[in-house]
Amino acid sequence: MEILNYMVFISKDMGEQLLNKNDFINEVAKRCMVTPYVVDEIFNVSSGVIIENLLKGNQVEIPKLGKFILREKKETTYKNLYGNSEKTIGKMTYPLFQVTNTIKNRVKNGYQHKKITSKVTFSKK
């Protein structure tokens, strides 16, 4: 089974760019201040858990991100436009990801990541 290797993000000027897996992992690692190896392992294990649960027939919901579900498409018969023959496409099951309203609103309103910096001070007693 193929693991998701690319993610699409929308830049501020609404031009579509492709964010590959390595760039995604490096950005998350930088923001979380951990090594890219740790983020890569978490990404791969998470993808595996999602796939395993979908194959069992479960939905997988990730809070503030979205929900992975399986959809079934019925068997369909189409007529060939250039002849009289009919073609039948069998029943299919495919994964689907539904994005939460939180993500939709952030994209709509031009969300920008804000770096949180805090100073830790120690007092002497």
Give tens-digit pLDDT for 42-76: 999 999 999 999 999 999 999 989 999 999 999 88
On whether the pTM is more than 0.85, the answer is: no
Amino acid identity of 11?
Answer: S
Per-residue confidence (pLDDT) for residue 4, from 0 to 100: 42
Query: What whole-number distance in Å separates Cα of residue 51 and Cα of residue 102?
Result: 24
Give tens-digit pLDDT for 6-15: 444 444 455 5
Per-residue confidence (pLDDT) for residue 11, from 0 to 100: 44
Domain ranges of the chain: 1-58, 67-110
Helices (H), the chain: 21-32, 36-55, 101-108
- Contact between 65 and 103 under an 8 Å Cβ cutoff? The reply is yes
CA angle 27, 112, 20 (to 5 degrees): 30
- Contact between 17 and 11 under an 8 Å Cβ cutoff? The reply is yes
Other CB atoms within a 10 A radius of the CB of residue 114 amount to 6
Per-residue confidence (pLDDT) for residue 41, from 0 to 100: 96
Per DSSP (E only), the strands in 74-119 are: 76-79, 86-89, 92-99
